[in-house]
Structure 1
Amino acid sequence: MNLSTSLPTDLPWNEQQAFLLLDGATLNDLPQRLKSLSPGANTLALYDCPSFTALRDISPLLVSVQQPDESLVRFYLEHAHEEWGVLMFSPDSAHPVAQHLRKLLTVELPQGTSAFLRLADAATARILFGSGDQRLFGPLSCLVTADGVAADWQLHQPRLAECPELPTPYRLSLEQNAALDQVDRRRVLLELDAHLRRFFPERPVAETVAQRWPMLEQLEAEASALGLSSPSELFYYANLMAWLDGSSPDPHSHLHRLLHTPSLQPIGERIALAADMAHQWASERGRP
């Protein structure tokens, strides 16, 4: 399936107001982009409220749209696989929808501490609105989220005609919290996939993200076994393996010692050095 040409059918374009919720933290200069695409677009910044005014420049933007063939919707569809937006419908106007969504910007974790939610992240929205809690919908009649790994759309609708009031702060269940933890991991793997395709385009890879997913998970598991934990360390490990054409670094004695010999030097620094050494080795063999 091609996400850019395959929105679900029977969406209420002509009966209700459609909105795009776009992630200003992921899209650089989002307000300027929207102005260039649609100068008259009606937008509301979710962070335009007392608790978030310092972050307004990276706020999620709620944008009113009318039809699936207009420029903003086409822009969203072209990038749907990147999962930085959500399509929403409501019988209400933008302000009640924004007020409802602002209640979910900060949530309470099961242990009682507070956390921010990236509501415009499609995977985050998919976990929340797919959890079955009808209070989350409020004035929303349906949400459409893109799954960039499975390359399909998911439609989320309330089962009740009138949704119960959403409490503030909203407290995540144990199940929601565990699922959102996996969203963070999934986002890192998607970023890793984009990184590898950008910087190692000559590597033979499967055509779809779903087909490449086992390879990404294997890289993550191997990096974890070495004690690497941060996304940057995972990326250095992936670079190392790419420069080695996917073969184990163990036959290279200098790399093996660097990665496996106890050292006072942090493993994060050693994996960066190992990746640089592999790059040099590959260059000497005629690799780019």
Structure 2
Amino acid sequence: MTLSIALPADLPWNEQQAFVLLDGATLSNLPERLKQLSPGANAVALYDCPSFTALRDISPLLVAAQQPDEPLVQFYLEHAHEEWGVLLFSRDSAHAVAQHLRKLLTVELPEGVPVFLRLADAAVARILFSSGDQRLFGPLSCVVTADGVEGDWQRHQPLLAECPDLPTPYRLSAEQNSALEQVDRRRVLLELDAHLLRFFPESQRGATVSQRWPMLEQLEAQANTLGLSSQSELFYYANVMASLDGSSLEQHPPINRLLHTPSLQPIGERIALAADMALQWASERGRS
């Protein structure tokens, strides 16, 4: 699946240097994959600095790009809906851009507690660069992020000709922090959508993530009501409901009792067992 619309047509490919920022924590063996895509690519590891040396193998990579039709950019575009990359433009060098982005690898919460940011996560970048704080742009003249839920692109540009210096450490506003807290939840729901499309494609309603989003949120709310809190427990619950193919839990007393009757057995174990029972029911139904 790719985004439903093309990149904005008026991006400054010929006037400025383009960069793709790729998330090494999500893309396994990113340096090796990059060599296959673009053997001569100029890549800078953001974690190639004293505070992050031990994490260099999963570092975000800032990779220079020349035109939208080259293999690296096409690879990014084909997977942009997965939101593990950001497209950047700058009149400055890769070194200047990398130095600026490194200032945002560790930021402070509003109360002053330091936290890490995954800058190559498109949802994180979208929240930061749409917040109105001009200091965040530094040498960046344009930031383009993919929205995998809405299926479109969002373009962020500074309003000032010269942006104020970015203080270090950078402290998030209460509004930025609140928005960033939703990123992990959003990521889980996107992964849940991919999981259901892979294993239960026939049960999914809606051609786009946006159309399926209310169903994903409903599954999450129902799982929370049952006391399911981890991502794996949410996925097991989704497996149950997908296997039951629209029938309610009340129509399946053994599964319903397993999930709603008080028990010394942890809910995480019970939901895994319920998923097995639902899958068995679906298999027997298919053979009948």
Query: Structure 1-normalised TM-score?
Result: 0.96
Residue 111 of structure 1: CA displacement?
A: 2.1
Amino acid at match of 1:50: P
**Structure 2: how far apart are the matches of 1:212 and 1:254?**
29
**Structure 2: how far apart are the matches of 1:261 and 1:113?**
41
**Structure 2: how far apart are the matches of 1:5 and 1:179?**
25
Correspondence 1:194 to 2:174:
no
Specify the alignment match of 2:138 in structure 1: 138
Specify the alignment match of 1:266 in structure 2: 266
Residue 177 of structure 1: CA displacement?
A: 0.5
Residue by residue over 1:23-77, the C-alpha shift from the partner in whole angstroms, topping out at 9 and shown as x without a partner, is 0111111111111011000001111111111111111000000111111111111
Specify the alignment match of 1:10 in structure 2: 10
Q: Runs of 5+ in structure 1 lacking a partner?
A: none
**Structure 2: how far apart are the matches of 1:204 and 1:264?**
34
Amino acid at match of 2:191: E
Distance change in 2, residues 1:238/1:96 (3 Å):
same
Q: How many residues align?
A: 287
Specify the alignment match of 1:93 in structure 2: 93
Amino acid at match of 2:195: H
Instruction: Give the 3-state SS of the residue equivalent to 1:254 in structure 2.
Output: helix
Residue 204 of structure 1: CA displacement?
A: 4.4
Instruction: Give the 3-state SS of the residue equivalent to 1:141 in structure 2.
Output: strand
**Structure 1: how far apart are the matches of 2:60 and 2:204?**
36
Residue 201 of structure 1: CA displacement?
A: 2.3
Specify the alignment match of 1:152 in structure 2: 152
Instruction: Give the 3-state SS of the residue equivalent to 1:250 in structure 2.
Output: helix
Amino acid at match of 2:149: V
Residue 4 of structure 1: CA displacement?
A: 7.2
Amino acid at match of 1:234: L
Query: Structure 2-normalised TM-score?
Result: 0.96
Are the equivalent residues in 2 in contact too, given 1:5–1:77 (CA < 8 A)?
no
**Structure 2: how far apart are the matches of 1:141 and 1:127?**
17
**Structure 2: how far apart are the matches of 1:128 and 1:50?**
24
Where does 1:14-163 land on structure 2 (aligned, <5 Å)? 14-163=14-163
Residue by residue over 1:93-151, the C-alpha shift from the partner in whole angstroms, topping out at 9 and shown as x without a partner, is 10110011011011101122111111001011000000000010011011000111111
Residue 265 of structure 1: CA displacement?
A: 1.6
Residue by residue over 1:148-202, the C-alpha shift from the partner in whole angstroms, topping out at 9 and shown as x without a partner, is 1111111100111111111111111110011011111111100000000011123
Residue 286 of structure 1: CA displacement?
A: 2.1
Are the equivalent residues in 2 in contact too, given 1:43–1:62 (CA < 8 A)?
yes
Residue 85 of structure 1: CA displacement?
A: 0.4
**Structure 1: how far apart are the matches of 2:106 and 2:217?**
30
Instruction: Give the 3-state SS of the residue equivalent to 1:228 in structure 2.
Output: coil
Residue 5 of structure 1: CA displacement?
A: 5.9
Residue 224 of structure 1: CA displacement?
A: 0.8
Amino acid at match of 1:86: V
Where does 1:173-192 land on structure 2 (aligned, <5 Å)? 173-192=173-192
Q: Please, what is the CA RMSD of the aligned residues?
A: 1.4
Q: Runs of 5+ in structure 2 lacking a partner?
A: none
Residue 251 of structure 1: CA displacement?
A: 2.4
Specify the alignment match of 1:209 in structure 2: 209
* Structure 1 range deviating more: 189-198 or 259-268: 259-268
Are the equivalent residues in 2 in contact too, given 1:4–1:77 (CA < 8 A)?
no
**Structure 2: how far apart are the matches of 1:204 and 1:254?**
25
**Structure 1: how far apart are the matches of 2:282 and 2:70?**
47
Specify the alignment match of 1:218 in structure 2: 218
